[in-house]
Amino acid sequence: MTTKLTKKSHACVRLEKDGRTLVLDPGMFSEDDAALGADAILITHEHPDHFDEERLRVAMEADPAAEIWTLRSVAEKISAAFPGRVHTVGHGDTFTAAGFDVQVHGELHAVIHPDIPRITNVGYLIDGGRVFHPGDALTVPDHAVETLMLPVMAPWSKISEVIDYVREVKPQRAYDVHDALLTDLARPIYDNQIGALGGAEHLRLAPGESTSL
């Protein structure tokens, strides 16, 4: 069954299947309407480029049936406003959201600096490995991955780690996410090196662009 993947700005992606929509990480660098129209929303962690409370409130108020799945640190910030519609998950959990089967992988955000305490972070494996979004971590799920949403550039990473992550996950293809800080001047460097060394097809969608999986 075909799944439509639409890239939104930075770490946000939309998945559509059977007339239902799942949105992941509509943060402050994403479009104002990034979460609108979602039947279900998944948030990987509390940093504002992944979790924007106002965007979530607008989406949840626009559709009284919409629901959120996220870790405790985010759920505590928004669950009171939407009783019964915000679900707390952690590593090892499985659930169904908007018709998508989801497995939760990972527990901690990548190290930004040893002096900065690590926060929690979870990744989401969708439909048995069709898509994996790790959030802000280089989590390797214990499952084959067809399409890896690859955090390509962040204050906590360097390109050698990104390349080695693709090698370790061994996806069929990797699409860039977490790319708002990556300038157009630098993109060819990342494209060439990850594509040449990662061992998987390396792809990039412009914000608003879609593909079928």
pLDDT of residue 136: 98
Q: Please, which pLDDT band fits residue 1 given cuts at 50, 70 and 90?
A: confident
193-210 pLDDT, tens digit per residue, is 999 999 999 999 999 999
Q: Which residues contact 25 (CB under 8 A, 6 or more apart)?
A: 10, 11, 12, 13, 42, 43, 44, 50, 51, 133, 135
CATH number of 4-204: 3.60.15.10
Residue 184 has φ and ψ, to the nearest 5°, of -60, -30
Q: Where are the domains of the chain?
A: 4-204
pLDDT of residue 160: 97
Q: How many CB atoms lie within 10 A of CB 116?
A: 11
Sheet holding 100-105, edge to edge: 94-97, 100-105, 123-126, 131-133, 147-151, 173-177, 201-203
Find the mean pLDDT for residues 139-145. Answer: 97
Q: Please, which pLDDT band fits residue 19 given cuts at 50, 70 and 90?
A: very high
pLDDT of residue 156: 96
| Opening angle at CA 181, ends 175 and 186, nearest 5 | 75
Say yes or no to pLDDT of 92 above 90. yes
C-alpha distance across the termini of the chain, in Å: 9
Q: Flag whether the pTM goes above 0.95.
A: yes
Q: Which residues contact 148 (CB under 8 A, 6 or more apart)?
A: 132, 134, 166, 169, 171, 173, 174, 175, 200
Task: Provide the mean pLDDT of the chain.
Answer: 97
What is the DSSP code string of 120-157?
A: B--EEEEGGGTEEE--SS----SS--SEEEEE---TT-
121-132 pLDDT, tens digit per residue, is 999 999 999 999
The answer to whether residues 149 and 7 touch, using CB atoms and an 8 Å cutoff, is no
The answer to whether residues 212 and 185 touch, using CB atoms and an 8 Å cutoff, is no
Query: 105 is written with which tokens?
Result: 């992988």
Say yes or no to pLDDT of 36 above 90. yes
Query: Residue 80 to residues 27, 41, 87, 110: CA-CA distances in angstroms?
Result: 20, 16, 11, 29
pLDDT of residue 28: 97
